[in-house]
Amino acid sequence: MKRVVAISSLVLTMGLAAMPLAWADAAGDALAAKLKAAMPGIPLTSVTPTPVAGIYEVVAGSDVIYMSADGKYMFQGVLVDFDARKNLTEARRGGIRAELLKQLKDEDTIIYAPMGTPKHTITIFTDPSCPYCRKLHAEVPELVKNGVKVRYVLYPRAGLDSPIGKTSIGIMCAKDRKAEMDKSLAGQTLSLPVCDSHPLAKQLELGGALGLEGTPYIVTDGGVVISGYRPAADILKVLDSKK
């Protein structure tokens, strides 16, 4: 119920969801019109039929829910193609995340990259005060050694006005972001000047749109989420399996 109710409060994703609107048929058009009338602020992206007769997939921001064709019933959950053993809902969400990540520029992140062309790229939303974020950072050299490009996005969970928020801003304003990032994730206390030209406010919104609920939060370029701390070997297995 939490995500169904949240669909009416997804206005913050309107600036992030740049995907084209898609309506599949007349019934989809009618259902979209009903939703817009009931929830005028909803960032509706698409209304399309599912493989289940009479059931439509509704995408709003990064949320995926399902509704009956007449708009009378709305429900959340995971739609699985049992014969194919495929999670259709997660596949759709992965596509949404991948599109959202395309809006993230490398210059607005902190990059640890191997020499030459990377085999994989992952984006990690991290909070320097998070113990498991610090533990994950110790795995980054092994990831880079194995051809993984790591893009860090600073995500201070307590907000930009908090002490860790100001530290995060200071890191992004520093001449050598990586050096200050390494110090912070090593548990060192930093005292850095802040600046106004940083992307963290937008990136906090992006994390919300991606469905982030805690850090560290790892997302592959294909939109696959690897939540929480995982050793490098486990992350590499996931990446190789999704290649």
Q: Which of 92, 97, 127, 134 is catalytic?
A: 127
User: Would you call 170 helix, strand, or coil by DSSP?
Assistant: helix
**Residue among 130, 134, 221, 230 flagged as catalytic:** 130
Burial class (CB in 10 A: 0-12, 13-18, 19+), 41: exposed
List residues bridging with 26 in a β-sheet: none
Which amino acid type is present at position 213?
A: E
Is 127 a residue of the active site?
Answer: yes
What residues contact residue 52 under an 8 Å CB cut-off, 6+ apart?
A: 79
Which residue of the set 63, 92, 93, 133 is catalytic?
Answer: 133
How far apart CA 27 and CA 50 sit, in angstroms, is 12
Between CA 208 and CA 214 the distance in angstroms is 10
Tell me the three state secondary structure of residue 122.
strand
Catalytic residue among 3, 157, 173, 182: 157
Cα–Cα distance measured from residue 225 to residue 219, given in angstroms and rounded to the nearest whole number: 5
The answer to whether residues 73 and 67 touch, using CB atoms and an 8 Å cutoff, is: yes
Nearest CA to 121 out of 145, 150, 146 is that of 150
Rounded to whole angstroms, the Cα distance separating 75 from 18 reads 25
Distance CA(238)–CA(89), nearest Å, equals 19
Answer whether 220's CB lies under 8 Å from 120's CB: yes
Note if 195 is an active site residue. Answer: no
Is 196 marked active-site? Answer: no
Catalytic residues: 127, 130, 133, 157
